[in-house]
Amino acid sequence: MAELLHKKKHITTFQIIILGFAGVILLGALLLMLPISSRSGSATPFNEALFTSTSAVCVTGLIVQDTATYWSSFGQAVIIVLIQIGGLGVVTVAASFALLSGRKISLMQRSTMQEAIAAPKVGGIVRLTSFILKATFLFELIGAVVMMPVFCRDFGVKGIWMAFFHSISAFCNAGFDIMGTQDSLYPSLTSYVGNPVINITIMLLIVIGGIGFLTWEDVYTNRHHFRRYRMQSKVIIITTALLILIPAIFFYLYEFADLPVGERILGSFFQSVTPRTAGFNTVNLAAMSGAAQAIMIFLMLIGGSPGSTAGGMKTTTFAVLLANAFAIFRRKADAQFWGRRIEDGVIKNAATILMMYLTLFFGGALVISVTEGLPLGTCLYETASAIGTVGLTLGITPQLGLLSQIILIILMFFGRVGGLTLIYAALSGANKIHSKLPQEKITVG
């Protein structure tokens, strides 16, 4: 017993985060296996329940069974609770229960909370967590109230549940919908392509949920005084704006010329926002050109921002790599933003994350393509959606075999907890070597 307690003390914050996510996923899968969770009243196979639970907790949105027609009200409730836990983060949710019960938060718990929400320091972490919870529920409530008249008009009283479900799903960047199959296999929000209320509300929820909790605090504290923002918040806001605007212009000019101007504008912006990492769609993705699908893959891999409800490599990773490239092009010694130097360790982390995501993204697609006999381009779209925790699909996910489903489960888990978190958790017990080896030059490029 003493030995067990001794080992428990050496569990790192990164391991706690991973075990927390894994535990919630397993519990969710067991609940979704129950006969009460399906409309037919029959038990759901474990692999399908596990896939759905992983997709919900990792706020992805890829599905093997249609959420509206397969799962019962109980099953849908389980899914939305899993989405909420996954969006906020398992550690944040656990900390909120501790705060509500009036218990004191230990230093170890504060350190874990700091890692979970990517906070710069432990000090003030409890206050920040309280702010995150209040802001999250406020945004989700406002989103539901705004969309409620539209959904109630179309679905009656059921529209209330639909408004709350889609508001939580959008804010948590999950992409789960309960619209039903209607005229196509997975229509998502295609019937609302021209509805400004649904489009703008969903887009705002996705962006707000994906820019990161620390960015909220900066906006709330400093308002319109942009110069006072942290450098990270400035990078996130500007990078996010450019990653929305530039693809939207491309989609408007080359993809949706057959739509009326209003629908064309909404459709262009929506398809630019949703790959970052929400997973809703208002147009037929399979009908989009190869160039448009390639742009969406690029956006899916980047994802949202650190300490947010979104997954992916993160906007800051992309921005740091760009800044480093510009510094080399201009023969500058250091990468920088707004007169502030970026430390070398951050650039190394960014390069490592990029290599991990590209390797997993391409390797997973290659295995699925060979196993299922599908075109590699289609498989790349699905694996980008999984590793970026997006949920957009060209329609192949429900037909995939067990091995391919397992690959997507692993990619979704990696994408949500973060590649570096998994590395640090796995190598936490490794001996650190502080001495430096002899240096020798090698030519690159």
pLDDT at 145: 97
pLDDT at 2: 43
Is residue 2 in some structural domain?
no
Mean pLDDT of 189-216: 90
Q: Tell me what percent of the residues of the chain surpass a pLDDT of 70.
A: 84
End-to-end CA distance of the chain: 56
DSSP conformation class of 38: B
| Gyration radius from the chain CA atoms | 22
CA-nearest of 254, 256, 272, 289 to 203 is 272
pTM (predicted TM-score):
0.87
Is residue 443 in some structural domain?
no
Q: Which residue has the higher pLDDT, 114 or 188?
A: 188
Are the C-beta atoms of residues 171 and 140 closer than 8 Å to each other? Answer: yes
Lookup: tokens for 348: 């190394």
Lookup: tokens for 427: 């190598």
Q: Into how many domains does the chain fold?
A: 1
pLDDT at 128: 77
pLDDT tens-digit readout, 258-305: 889 989 999 999 999 999 878 888 888 888 898 999 999 999 999 888
pLDDT at 387: 92
Lookup: tokens for 322: 């760009």
pLDDT at 408: 95
Q: Tell how strand 336-337 and strand 340-341 pair up.
A: antiparallel
pLDDT at 4: 38
List the domain range (segments joined by +) for residue 362: 12-424
Mean pLDDT of 100-111: 64
- Which residue type is seen at 19? L
- Strand positions, DSSP E, 23-154: none
Q: Which phi and psi (to 5°) does residue 6 adopt?
A: -65, -40
Mean pLDDT of the chain: 85
Is 127 buried (19+), middle (13-18) or exposed (0-12) by CB count in 10 A? exposed
- Strand positions, DSSP E, 273-417: 336-337, 340-341
Is residue 432 in some structural domain?
no
pLDDT at 115: 63
pLDDT at 43: 94
pLDDT tens-digit readout, 317-364: 999 999 999 999 988 888 888 888 998 888 988 998 899 999 999 999
Cα atoms found within 13 Å of the Cα of residue 268, Cβ hemisphere only: 21
Are the C-beta atoms of residues 148 and 180 closer than 8 Å to each other? Answer: no
pLDDT at 94: 65
How does residue 117 score in pLDDT terms, banded at 50, 70 and 90?
low
Are the C-beta atoms of residues 86 and 172 closer than 8 Å to each other? Answer: yes
Backbone conformation region of residue 212, classed left if phi is above 0, alpha if psi is from -120 to 50, else beta: left
Q: Report the SS3 class of residue 11.
A: coil
User: In terms of residues, how long is the chain?
Assistant: 445
How does residue 223 score in pLDDT terms, banded at 50, 70 and 90?
confident
Separation CA 360–CA 374 (nearest Å): 18
Is residue 61 in some structural domain?
yes
Q: Is the pLDDT of residue 92 over 80?
A: no
Mean pLDDT of 22-44: 94
Q: How far is CA 188 from CA 69, 192, 278, 285, 393, in A?
A: 13, 9, 12, 11, 11
Separation CA 389–CA 279 (nearest Å): 8
Q: Is the pLDDT of residue 189 over 50?
A: yes
Q: Which residue has the higher pLDDT, 38 or 182?
A: 38
Taking every pair of Cα atoms in the chain, the longest distance, rounded to a whole number of angstroms, is 72
Is residue 430 in some structural domain?
no
Is residue 109 in some structural domain?
yes
pLDDT at 380: 95
CA-nearest of 179, 192, 164 to 83 is 164
Q: Is the pLDDT of residue 109 over 80?
A: no
Q: Which residue has the higher pLDDT, 421 or 46?
A: 46
Are the C-beta atoms of residues 391 and 398 closer than 8 Å to each other? Answer: no
Are the C-beta atoms of residues 325 and 244 closer than 8 Å to each other? Answer: no
pLDDT at 8: 45
How does residue 427 score in pLDDT terms, banded at 50, 70 and 90?
low
Is residue 58 in some structural domain?
yes
Are the C-beta atoms of residues 388 and 312 closer than 8 Å to each other? Answer: yes
Is residue 431 in some structural domain?
no
